[in-house]
């Protein structure tokens, strides 16, 4: 594992990170889940094969939540006849993200850093129509910080974050528990006469911690003293 990290600052005017099993009312995660960032990395690198052991930290903030009434037309599976299908979609507005990425090798680090600066197509997070409006990419090194009494204010969290549950517990950080998908394995099953494939996601228990919390223990930070909350710590 390389000691270097890539930090990506992203701005999106609008984004939806759909919570599984939300149907007529589509809810969104408050930040992109690990699986979304892993997919984003593979798309940017134009990789079809899965790159294992990517480590990710996700934090950010949004301006507002928007609920839209959208009317789809749902066609029946075995005919060309359909019916109106109204849904309510929840979107994040004016989303700012700080994504830290650690690749499993220096070669993959270099490839991702180049690809982020020269994306093969218009990059997006979440739905394909939710394009990234601005993306700034940096190479940095992580380091440990031991806060002193005079430093606690500088280590107050500035962004909402996904923090692995046990890490948040050890740091006495409070928030809302979530089960977040990460990598997936493909499995097949028999449906009538055909075989179908589904994605079986590994789930990571996290705390969604809102900004403004003080930290008084050793943590990983980047060059701007922004905490890094590795998915695998």
- Domain harbouring 139, CATH code: 3.30.70.2660
pLDDT for 70: 84
Nearest to 130 by CA among 11, 6, 9: 11
pLDDT for 178: 96
What are 105's two structure tokens?
């090798």
For residue 87, being part of any structural domain is answered with: yes
Is 12:131 a contact under the CB 8 Å cutoff? Answer: yes
Is 15:125 a contact under the CB 8 Å cutoff? Answer: yes
For residue 231, being part of any structural domain is answered with: no
For residue 233, being part of any structural domain is answered with: no
Kindly report each contact of residues 22-27 with a partner whose C-beta sits within 8 Å and lies 24 or more positions away, as own/partner: 23/87, 24/86, 24/87, 24/88, 25/87, 25/88, 25/90, 26/87, 26/88, 26/89, 26/90, 27/90
For residue 227, being part of any structural domain is answered with: no
What pTM, to 2 d.p., does this model score? 0.88
Range of the domain at 127: 4-221
For residue 8, being part of any structural domain is answered with: yes
b/e sequence 48-80, b meaning 16+ C-beta within 10 Å: eeebeebbbbbbbbbeeeeeeeeeeeeeeeeee
pLDDT for 152: 45
Q: Which residues pair with 160 in a beta bridge?
A: 60
The count of domains in the chain is 1
For residue 232, being part of any structural domain is answered with: no
Q: Which residues pair with 4 in a beta bridge?
A: 141
pLDDT for 233: 86
For residue 228, being part of any structural domain is answered with: no
For residue 47, being part of any structural domain is answered with: yes
Per-residue pLDDT of the chain (233 residues; tens, 9 = 90+): 557 899 999 999 999 999 988 877 889 999 999 999 999 999 999 998 999 999 999 999 999 999 998 887 777 777 677 777 788 999 999 999 999 999 999 999 999 999 999 998 899 999 999 999 999 999 998 887 665 444 444 467 889 999 999 999 999 999 999 999 999 887 777 676 677 777 888 999 999 999 988 888 888 889 888 999 999 98
């Amino acid at each position: 594992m390389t000691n270097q990290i890539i930090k990506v600052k992203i701005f999106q005017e609008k984004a939806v990170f759909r919570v599984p099993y939300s149907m007529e009312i589509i809810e969104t995660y408050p930040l992109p889940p690990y699986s979304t960032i892993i997919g984003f990395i593979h798309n940017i690198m134009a990789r079809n094969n899965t790159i294992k052991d990517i480590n990710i930290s996700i934090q950010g903030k949004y301006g507002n939540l928007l609920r839209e009434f959208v009317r789809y037309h749902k066609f029946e599976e075995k005919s060309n006849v359909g019916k109106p299908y109204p849904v309510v979609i929840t979107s994040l507005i004016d989303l700012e993200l700080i994504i830290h990425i650690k690749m499993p090798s220096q070669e993959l680090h270099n490839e991702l850093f180049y690809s982020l600066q020269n994306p093969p197509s218009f990059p997006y997070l979440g739905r394909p129509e939710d394009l990234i409006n601005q993306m700034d990419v940096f190479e940095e090194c992580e380091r440990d910080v031991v806060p002193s009494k005079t430093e606690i204010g500088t280590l107050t969290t500035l962004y909402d974050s996904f923090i692995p549950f046990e890490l948040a517990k050890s740091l006495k950080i409070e928030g809302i528990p979530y089960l977040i998908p990460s990598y997936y394995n493909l499995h097949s099953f028999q449906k009538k006469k055909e075989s179908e494939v589904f994605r079986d996601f590994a789930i990571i228990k996290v705390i969604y911690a809102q900004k403004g919390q003080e930290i008084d223990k050793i943590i990983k930070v980047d060059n701007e003293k922004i905490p890094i909350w590795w998915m695998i710590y």
